[in-house]
Amino acid sequence: MADLTHFDKAGNAHMVDVGDKAETERIAVARATVTMQPQTLKLITDKAVRKGDVLAVAQLAGIMAAKRTPDLVPLCHPLALTSVQVTLSCDAGRSCVDIEATCKLTGRTGVEMEALTAATVAALTVYDMCKAVDRGMTITDVRLLHKSGGKSGTYEAR
C-alpha cells in the first residue's frame, strides 16, 4: 500500500508539493445515485417540482462545486479545470437519478476530488430540491469510476 502523501514525517497534515511533477492531461469520472419514491422521480421527469427544474439546477450545482473543491476540501490544490461535465439520467426501473461527473485539465495533479465533489453536490441538490415530498431519498454509490494521467497512470473501477 502506498504511503499517505498528505502527512509529513511528524504526522502533520500538509499540502503536497506538486511543483516537480510533469504536466499531463488528467481526467476523472465519478458517479453518484439518488434513490427515491417513484412519485418523486415522476415529479422530476415531468418538471413539476415546485422549486424548478431539478436536473438542470443539479447539473449547474455540480459544475460549480467542481470549481470550488479546494474551498471545501482543505488539502486540495486550486486547479485550472478545462472541462467539467455533469450528466443526470433518470432510471424509472430503479426509481433513481444517476449522476456522472467528468473533470479534465492539463496539470500537475489529478482531478478525482473535483469529479467526486461535482457528483456529490449534484446529488445533494437533487435531495434538497425534492426533500419536501420525499425525505426518504438516499444518496448512494458515490465513487470514482475512472482516472487517467500522471505518474500513477490509469485507474478503472471494477
Catalytic residues: 128
95 conformational bin, left if phi > 0, alpha if psi -120 to 50, beta if neither: left
| Cα 86 from Cα 16, distance rounded (Å) | 28
Instruction: Determine phi and psi for 127, rounding to 5 degrees.
Output: -60, -50
Instruction: Determine phi and psi for 157, rounding to 5 degrees.
Output: -70, 150
- Cell numbers for 142: 458515490
With contact defined as beta carbons under 8 Å apart, do 157 and 33 qualify?
no
With contact defined as beta carbons under 8 Å apart, do 119 and 1 qualify?
no
